[in-house]
C-alpha cells in the first residue's frame, strides 16, 4: 500500500534537528519546488530564517525563496530581498526580472537597476541586462536603454548573443531601426532569436519587403519557427503578398506534423493576412477551423469582415463573441464593429454600438472610435451631429477626424465658410502640412466657382513645398508584385498596357461612359487634359496589366495607397461587366469587390 504524501504544512512541522545542514537545506528546497501559495511560502521562509539566518552558505536557499516569492507575491519578494544583507547578482536579477515580466512594474525594474549600481556590492552581469532592456523597450525608455548599452560595452558584454538580441529589440521598439540593424550586422554570433527580432523590427516599422528579404537570407542558416512565421505572415499582410502568404500557411501546416497550425497567434495572423490580401473566404475558413480562439482572433475576423464591407457578417460575428461569454469585447473589437457600420452607412447601428461600448462595457472611446462615428455621420449627411460629437469629445480631435469632416463638407456641399474652418483645424492639428487638406479645399472652392481661391490654394502648396501624394497601385501576378504610379511609363510592358488602356477607353465610350472630372488633378485644365490624367490613374494601369496577364476566371487584385476616386470607381465597375472579370481593390480605407458592374461598397465609401 502506498503512503500518502503529507501536505506541505505538515512536512514543514517535521523536526529537522537530526538532519545535517545540507540535508536540511535540500528538504527546504524540495518543499519550495512544490510551493504554490503565500501561506506555504511564509512557513518555509520562517523555517529557513530560524535554521540558517542569511549567512553566505545559505544564499542559494534564500535566492530560491526570493525567486518563488517573486512569482507568488511581489510585495513579499521585496520584503524578503530587503532582509538579505549582501544580495548576490542572482537575487538582483530575480527581482529585476520579476518587474520586467510584470505588466505594471516595468519602470520599477529600471529603478532597481539604478539601486544595484548605487549600492555597488555586485556588478550587473549578462543575465541582468536582458531583463532591464526588456523593461526599457516596453516603456520606450530610450535614454535609460542607451545608458544600459554604455554599461554593457564597459563590462565587455556586448558580444553576448542574449544581450545583443535584447539591444536590437530595445532600439527597434523605440523606433531606432538603424541602430538595431547596425547591432545585428555587427553581432559576432547570431541565434534564431537574433533573426526573429530583426525581421519583426522591419515589420513593426512597416518595411515589409525588407522583412521578407531578411527572411530569405535567414533560411540559409536557420529553420523558421513559430515566431518567424508570425512576422512573415504579418509582412505578407502589409504588402498584400497573397502567394507568399499562402506559402507561409502551407509551411505552418506541414511543420512538425502541423503543430504550428494549432498556435492561436499564428492562426490570428493568418486570418488578418488573408483578410488584408483580399481572400476573405480563406480568412473565414482559417477562423472557423481554429482549434482554439482568443480575443485577438475574434477581433481579426470582425475587422476583416468590416474591411470587406460585410457589415452584417461582422455584426453577427460580434454577437457570437458576446453570446459565448468567454471573452469581453475590448476597444479593438469596437473599432471593428464601428468600422463595419461606417463602411455600409449604417448610422442607427453606429450610434447604438458606440453607446453600448461606452455605457454597457465602460470602454472609454479612443480617437479611432470617434473617427469611425464622425466619418459615418458626416458622410451620411449628419454633419451638424458630427460637429457636435467632435465638440464634446473628451480628447483633442486629430487631423484624421477633421479630414473626414472636410471630405464630407466637400461631398455634401456644406458651404465654403464651414470648409475653411475645418481646413484650418486640420492645419493646426498636423505637425507637417499634408497635401490632402489643400486638395480638398481646392475642390470646395472649385465647386463654388471660386477659381481665384482654388488657384491660391495650389500656389500655397507650391510655396510651402507640399506635394500631392502620388497614387500607387500594386498587383501580384504569378507571385511577383508589380507597382504602378499615376501616369507611369516605366514598366517593361508599358506599350502593351497602354494598348489595353486604349481598348478599355474604346469600349467605355461605346458603353456611354462620361468622365467624372470632380477629382481630376487640376480643376481649371481643359477637359481633354483632365481625361488623359484620369485614364492613367495608377489603378487603371494595374487593371490593364491584370487584363493582359491574369488567367481567365482569376480575379484581379489591386492594392492602392489612396482612396479610389469617383471616376475610377465607376470605370472599375464598368470594366468588370464589359470584360466579365472580378476585380478586388483595396484602397486606403477598405476593400471593393467589383463584379458584374456592381461593387460591394454599394457606392458608399
pLDDT interval class at 432 (50, 70, 90)? low
Number of Cβ atoms within 10 Å of the Cβ of 14? 10
Q: HEC states along 256-278?
A: HHHHHHHCHHHHHHHHHHHHHCC
- pLDDT value of residue 47: 75
What phi and psi values does residue 556 have, to the nearest 5 degrees?
-95, 120
Look at 97-111, 325-339, 436-450 and tell me which has the smallest mean pLDDT. 436-450
- Mean of the per-residue pLDDT values of the chain: 86
Q: Please name the residues in contact with 151: beta carbons below 8 A apart, sequence gap of 6 or more.
A: 117, 124, 129
pLDDT, tens digit, 9 for 90 and up, residues 576-591: 999 999 999 999 889 9
Gyration radius of the chain over CA positions: 30
What is the edge-to-edge ordering of all strands in the sheet holding 556-560?
Answer: 480-485, 472-477, 556-560, 583-586, 591-595, 598-599
Find the helix packing angle between 494-510 and 566-578, rounded to 10°. Answer: 90
- pLDDT value of residue 282: 96
Find the helix packing angle between 399-412 and 416-429, rounded to 10°. Answer: 160
- pLDDT value of residue 142: 94
Mean pLDDT in residue range 495-520: 86
- Bridge partners, residue 472, by sequence: 485
- pLDDT value of residue 143: 94
pLDDT interval class at 68 (50, 70, 90)? confident
- pLDDT value of residue 449: 76
Domain boundary assignment for the chain: 51-189, 396-469, 472-599
pLDDT interval class at 53 (50, 70, 90)? low
CB contact at 8 A, 122 and 89: yes
pLDDT of 532 strictly over 80: no
pLDDT interval class at 2 (50, 70, 90)? very low
Mean pLDDT in residue range 395-401: 89
**Segment (H or E) for 347:** helix 347-355
Q: Which CATH superfamily is domain 51-189 in?
A: Tetratricopeptide repeat domain (1.25.40.10)
Q: What is the DSSP string of 435-470?
A: HHHHHHHHHHHHHTT-HHHHHHHHHHHHHTTPPPPP
Q: How far, in Å, CA of 125 to CA of 195, rounded?
A: 24
* 575 or 65, higher pLDDT: 575
pLDDT of 530 strictly over 60: no
pLDDT interval class at 431 (50, 70, 90)? low
CB contact at 8 A, 180 and 150: no
Mean pLDDT in residue range 505-509: 93
- pLDDT value of residue 258: 66
Residues 393, 395, 401, 403: is their CA dihedral positive or negative?
positive
Number of Cβ atoms within 10 Å of the Cβ of 603? 12
pLDDT of 358 strictly over 50: yes
Q: Please name the residues in contact with 222: beta carbons below 8 A apart, sequence gap of 6 or more.
A: 192, 195
- pLDDT value of residue 362: 96
pLDDT of 11 strictly over 60: no
Q: Hey, is 472 helix, strand or coil?
A: strand
pLDDT, tens digit, 9 for 90 and up, residues 477-501: 888 889 999 888 889 999 999 999 9
pLDDT, tens digit, 9 for 90 and up, residues 169-187: 999 999 899 999 999 999 9
Mean pLDDT in residue range 271-282: 95
**Segment (H or E) for 40:** helix 38-52
CB contact at 8 A, 155 and 122: no
Look at 109-113, 171-175, 241-245, 415-419 and tell me which has the smallest mean pLDDT. 415-419
Number of Cβ atoms within 10 Å of the Cβ of 58? 19
Q: How far, in Å, CA of 129 to CA of 159, rounded?
A: 13
CB contact at 8 A, 338 and 373: yes
pLDDT of 413 strictly over 90: no
Amino acid at each position: 500500500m502506498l503512503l500518502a504524501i503529507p501536505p506541505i504544512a505538515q512536512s514543514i512541522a517535521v523536526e529537522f534537528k537530526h538532519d545535517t545542514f545540507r540535508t536540511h537545506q535540500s528538504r527546504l528546497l524540495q518543499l519550495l519546488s512544490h510551493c504554490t501559495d503565500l501561506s506555504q511560502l511564509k512557513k518555509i521562509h520562517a523555517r529557513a530564517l530560524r535554521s540558517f539566518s542569511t549567512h553566505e552558505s545559505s544564499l542559494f536557499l534564500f535566492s530560491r525563496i526570493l525567486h518563488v516569492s517573486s512569482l507568488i507575491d511581489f510585495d513579499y519578494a521585496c520584503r524578503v530581498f530587503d532582509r538579505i544583507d549582501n544580495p548576490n547578482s542572482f537575487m538582483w536579477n530575480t527581482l529585476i526580472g520579476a518587474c520586467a515580466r510584470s505588466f505594471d512594474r516595468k519602470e520599477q525594474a529600471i529603478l532597481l537597476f539604478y539601486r544595484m549600481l548605487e549600492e555597488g556590492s555586485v556588478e550587473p552581469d549578462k543575465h541582468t541586462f536582458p531583463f532591464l532592456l526588456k523593461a526599457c523597450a516596453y516603456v520606450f525608455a530610450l535614454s535609460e536603454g542607451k545608458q544600459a548599452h554604455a554599461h554593457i560595452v564597459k563590462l565587455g558584454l556586448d558580444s553576448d548573443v542574449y544581450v545583443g538580441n535584447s539591444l536590437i529589440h530595445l532600439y527597434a521598439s523605440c523606433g531606432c531601426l538603424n541602430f538595431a540593424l547596425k547591432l545585428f550586422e555587427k553581432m559576432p554570433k547570431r541565434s534564431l532569436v537574433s533573426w526573429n527580432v530583426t525581421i519583426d523590427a522591419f515589420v513593426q516599422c512597416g518595411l515589409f519587403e525588407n522583412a521578407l528579404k531578411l527572411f530569405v537570407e535567414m533560411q540559409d542558416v536557420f529553420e523558421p519557427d513559430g515566431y518567424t512565421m508570425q512576422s512573415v505572415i504579418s509582412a505578407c499582410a502589409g504588402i498584400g503578398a497573397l502567394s507568399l502568404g499562402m506559402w507561409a500557411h502551407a509551411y505552418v501546416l506541414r511543420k512538425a506534423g502541423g503543430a504550428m497550425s494549432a498556435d492561436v497567434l499564428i492562426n490570428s495572423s493568418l486570418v488578418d493576412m488573408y483578410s488584408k490580401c483580399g481572400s476573405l473566404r480563406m480568412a473565414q475558413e482559417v477562423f472557423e477551423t481554429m482549434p482554439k480562439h482568443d480575443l485577438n482572433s475574434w477581433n481579426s475576423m470582425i475587422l476583416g469582415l468590416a474591411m470587406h464591407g460585410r457589415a452584417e457578417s461582422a455584426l453577427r460575428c460580434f454577437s457570437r463573441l458576446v453570446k459565448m461569454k468567454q471573452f469581453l469585447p475590448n476597444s479593438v473589437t469596437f473599432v471593428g464593429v464601428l468600422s463595419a457600420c461606417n463602411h455600409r452607412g449604417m448610422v442607427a447601428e453606429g450610434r447604438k454600438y458606440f453607446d453600448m461600448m461606452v455605457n454597457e462595457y465602460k470602454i472609454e472611446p479612443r480617437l479611432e472610435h470617434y473617427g469611425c462615428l464622425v466619418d459615418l455621420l458626416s458622410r451620411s449627411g449628419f454633419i451638424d451631429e458630427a460637429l457636435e460629437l467632435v465638440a464634446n469629445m473628451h480628447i483633442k480631435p486629430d487631423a484624421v477626424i477633421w479630414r473626414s469632416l472636410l471630405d464630407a463638407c466637400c461631398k455634401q456641399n456644406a458651404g465654403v465658410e464651414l470648409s475653411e474652418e475645418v481646413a484650418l483645424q486640420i492645419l493646426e492639428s498636423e505637425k507637417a502640412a499634408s497635401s490632402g487638406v489643400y486638395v480638398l479645399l481646392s475642390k470646395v472652392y472649385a465647386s463654388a466657382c471660386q477659381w481665384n481661391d482654388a488657384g491660391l490654394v495650389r500656389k500655397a502648396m507650391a510655396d510651402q513645398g507640399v506635394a500631392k501624394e502620388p497614387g500607387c497601385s500594386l498587383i501580384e501576378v504569378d507571385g511577383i508584385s508589380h507597382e504602378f504610379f499615376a501616369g507611369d511609363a516605366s514598366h517593361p510592358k508599358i506599350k502593351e498596357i497602354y494598348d489595353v488602356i486604349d481598348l478599355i477607353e474604346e469600349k467605355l465610350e461605346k458603353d456611354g461612359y462620361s468622365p467624372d472630372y470632380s477629382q481630376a488633378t487640376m480643376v481649371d485644365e481643359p477637359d481633354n487634359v483632365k481625361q488623359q490624367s484620369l485614364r492613367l490613374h495608377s489603378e487603371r494601369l494595374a487593371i490593364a496589366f491584370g487584363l493582359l496577364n491574369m488567367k481567365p476566371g482569376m480575379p484581379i487584385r489591386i492594392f492602392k495607397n489612396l482612396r479610389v476616386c469617383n471616376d475610377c470607381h465607376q470605370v472599375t465597375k464598368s470594366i468588370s461587366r464589359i470584360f466579365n472579370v472580378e476585380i478586388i481593390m483595396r484602397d486606403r480605407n477598405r476593400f471593393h469587390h467589383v463584379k458584374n458592374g456592381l461593387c460591394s461598397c454599394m457606392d458608399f465609401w
